[in-house]
Structure 1
Amino acid sequence: MNNLSKPTQNWNIPPNRQDGGGDGNKWNFCYFFLPILGGAALHFIQARKSQKEREQVIAAQKMANREKEIELKYNIRENQHRRLLSRSESEKEKLKNKVQSYHQILSAQRQQLDEERRQLQEGINIEEKTQAVSKWESQARSLIKEFQDSLLTRQSSFCSSITSRNQRTELERKMLHQAATNPIAKELGIEADLNNIFKYETHCAGKLNKDKRENGRIMWVYLTYWRFQTKLKILENEADKLGKQDN
């Protein structure tokens, strides 16, 4: 083994050995290429770092573009919901004004009817006509009650997560058929009103609600409107009969 305390070799590198076989030239060659290799290594590290930074910038840009796309889609959907809500509120306001208008007409017709009935007491036999009007009114009330029950069932089905859409659609089809074929329903214009109800009525009281009457809003306005229409038709018929008798 080598005795490290007494080295036999000279570990120091002579600055320039000209008399021995060219060792100085070898070291001069190393001194010449070391800076070049170091510069190349530094350039390689910087290039890798720049590449990584570019990739990070591209990834950040993609993420920003994706966020903008999501925000744009959200704004479009929000605007659609706002327009639908605004249209629904407008329809409800029109219905409210329509009901109020018919209520005023009904009040005026009642006053006129009271006056005409006093005239009929002077020898006009109104029994048969009254019975016909009462029968029509009874049938109209019964029909409206039937539609009310169907609408309660339909809205309950709409608000239920169990009942299938096909069942609700079949019930709506039957209601529209009845409204289109029943003479009283045709007089009251129920078919067009049902289409509006099926299109805009979406109110549900809540998942835990067990009272069907708590569901719906627009349909209740239409039911009230149909009852006013029934009374108005009766008044118009009686007024028309009185006018014929005066002639």
Structure 2
Amino acid sequence: MNIMNDLNILPDAPETWQAKISRLVRDVFLPYAVPYVIPAFLSWKIMRGHRADPDDRIASLQAEIRRLQQEIESFQGHITTTQRQQYQKHIQINRDLDAISNMLEERQDIYCSPFRYKDTRLKAEKKLREYVVERPYEKELKLFSGVEEILEKDTHCGINRGENGCLMWVYMDLWRTRARLNMQENVILKMRTYDSKSKDTNK
């Protein structure tokens, strides 16, 4: 009996798309892909095992942050110390300039007074010159040359002691301005020196 012609046997059901995919994977993909997939998978696992632990990386970054924060604190402390030192120096310079201003005022009062002797004025001028020369910042502010010009050229006399002198008051403003500028420049210079030393240390 020919089975193919037996009408009592039902034909096979159509193959579903899920069955087709399973058959393709079984018959095509697995035989050809497995020899490549397995080595690739093993290689990926090995490489992953060699990668740095995220916790180690975090600890390393946190240590770098702490180091940078310490540098910032050190730098800020250096700035504060430098500014304090320069400010104290500036205060002393202004005190000295106040003394110079008083001596110039006294000298001009003698110069403008018809009742005071020339010898008294010369003594006051000598005292003024000696005081100026002894200042450690004399060359920075150019005190001595300024005083010499005042003594030579300032012949202005007013009605009273406070109005005497003209050139000397301009010089006083100039010296105070120079002193303030020098203070700021010294702070900047010391910051640059500190920065250079820090870079050399970190190399």
In 1, the alpha carbon distance for the partners of 2:188 and 2:81 equals 15
Which protein has greater RCO, CA pairs closer than 8 Å, 6+ apart? Answer: 1
- 2:186 — aligned with what? 237
| Mapped pair 1:220 → 2:173 | no
Counterpart pick for 1:196 among 149, 155, 159: 149
In 2, the alpha carbon distance for the partners of 1:122 and 1:146 equals 41
TM-score, normalised relative to structure 2: 0.58
Q: Number of matched residues?
A: 123
Moved over 2 A (4+): 184-187
What is the one-letter code of the residue matched to 1:155?
Q
SS at match of 2:137: helix
TM superposition shift of 1:245: 1.9
What is the one-letter code of the residue matched to 1:156?
D
- 1:152 — aligned with what? 105
TM superposition shift of 1:243: 0.9
Gaps of 5+ in 1: 1-120
What is the one-letter code of the residue matched to 1:160?
S
Gaps of 5+ in 2: 1-70, 197-203
TM superposition shift of 1:194: 0.4
Pairwise mapping of residues 164-203 of structure 1 onto structure 2 (< 5 A)? Answer: 164-203=117-156
What is the one-letter code of the residue matched to 1:213?
G
RMSD of equivalent CA atoms: 1.5
Cα deviation code 1:38-71 (max 9, x no counterpart): xxxxxxxxxxxxxxxxxxxxxxxxxxxxxxxxxx
In 2, the alpha carbon distance for the partners of 1:186 and 1:213 equals 28
What is the one-letter code of the residue matched to 2:95?
S
SS at match of 1:199: helix
In 2, the alpha carbon distance for the partners of 1:180 and 1:202 equals 23
In 2, the alpha carbon distance for the partners of 1:143 and 1:187 equals 14
Sequence identity (%) = 26
What is the one-letter code of the residue matched to 1:197?
I
In 2, the alpha carbon distance for the partners of 1:155 and 1:141 equals 21
Q: 1:155, 1:215 within 8 Å by CA — same for their partners in 2?
A: yes
TM superposition shift of 1:184: 2.6
TM superposition shift of 1:228: 0.7
TM superposition shift of 1:189: 1.5
Pairwise mapping of residues 1-247 of structure 1 onto structure 2 (< 5 A)? Answer: 122-123=72-73, 124=75, 125=77, 126-205=79-158, 209-210=159-160, 212-247=161-196
